């Protein structure tokens, strides 16, 4: 019984290690890209950019946008791109109804859906490519 538990734990650990290392192995044949992201001529201060591979054998890649810039390792190929931008619109109590509750920021995603969940933005990443800017 104890041996079964040890064997199960070892299998689970092996699976976990494989899952952790697989994305790193997939990205090793990629390239590092980065660039600027603007909306209506202004840099996006905070947000996220997601590259979804149109090749089902390739992993998606995502990173944060800070001060209108992003950078990440990515595999070459055709991608659908989703861009989200967030801004703080105010504060509210963390715990409703608690007079002593600390205040937390209220954040909204302000880009139109056509740039994220309904995105038709696409690009092709080349092996030697290093720059890719987005002006929305």
Helices (H) and strands (E) in the chain, counts: 1, 9
Any domain includes 107: yes
Domain count, the chain: 1
Pairing mode, strands 42-43 and 77-93: unpaired
Range of the domain at 86: 30-131
Of 102, 121, 130, 136, which is closest to residue 33 (Cα–Cα)? 130
Q: What is the pLDDT of residue 85?
A: 94
What's the rounded mean pLDDT across residues 39-43? Answer: 95
Is 136 inside a domain boundary?
Answer: no
Which runs of consecutive H residues, i.e. helices, occur in the chain?
Answer: 2-27
Residue 29's pLDDT band (cuts 50, 70, 90): low
Q: Does residue 82 fall inside a structural domain?
A: yes
How large is the C-alpha radius of gyration of the chain? Answer: 20
Tell me whether residue 91 is in a domain: yes
- pLDDT value at 53 more than 70: yes
Section 4-22 average pLDDT: 42
| CATH number of the domain residue 114 falls in | 2.60.40
Please give the Cα distance from 17 to 4 (Å, whole number): 20
- Rounded to two decimals, the pTM is 0.69
């Amino acid at each position: 019984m104890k041996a079964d538990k040890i064997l199960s734990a070892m299998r689970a650990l092996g699976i976990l290690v494989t899952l952790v290392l697989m994305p790193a192995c997939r990205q090793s044949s990629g390239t590092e890209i980065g660039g600027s992201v603007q909306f209506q001529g202004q840099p996006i201060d905070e947000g996220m950019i997601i590259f979804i591979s149109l090749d089902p054998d390739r992993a998606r890649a995502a990173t944060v946008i800070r001060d209108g810039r992003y950078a990440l390792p990515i595999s070459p190929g055709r991608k659908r791109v989703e861009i989200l931008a967030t801004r703080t619109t105010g504060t509210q109590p963390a715990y409703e109804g608690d007079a002593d509750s600390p205040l937390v920021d209220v954040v909204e995603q302000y880009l139109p859906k056509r740039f994220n969940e309904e995105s038709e933005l696409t690009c092709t990443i080349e092996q030697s490519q290093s720059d890719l800017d987005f002006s929305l």
